[in-house]
Structure 1
Amino acid sequence: MARGLLNWSIMELARNAGVGHSTIKRIEKVNGVLPEAQVSTLKAIHRAFTRTGVVRFEGTTGVLYIPPRSEVPE
């Protein structure tokens, strides 16, 4: 869902998070519930999204995209 908001491919998310694309594929295949995923990997993915303005609603699966000020029309 968050990746779709940014129109990122799996490769783009992997590059921005600094993780392997196969890791992203495995995580997405199981809807983010991958017990063997390293906490550091999940944090890296989270940072990649938050740097772009994607925020998650606590306690839900919902996300919101808040574009940087430079992208907001006046």
Structure 2
Amino acid sequence: MLISKFSKLDIMHNNVGMKHAVRVMIPSRHGSIVAMASICGCIGGVASQAYTSSKHNIVELVRNAVVELGPLRIRVNIVSPYE
């Protein structure tokens, strides 16, 4: 695993597995999680229902994670590209 190679975890992408990364970040009270969303996470009707709902769920996941992990000094952000 990355931890054994680099001895710490500073940043991860949400598709890697947020719940596993948080287990490492909480004891160190340090880290950043970057989630990939899109404009579809904020407005509907731009893409398919399945894609739009998945991106909206990521936005809500991050909002919840900010409240839960912020006091532990773990940052959670969204990158939301728009063409």
Larger radius of gyration: 2
Question: Larger % of strand: which?
Answer: 2
TM-score bucket of the superposed structures, by smaller chain? 0.3 to 0.5
Using CA pairs under 8 Å that are at least 6 residues apart, name the structure with larger relative contact order, 1 or 2.
2
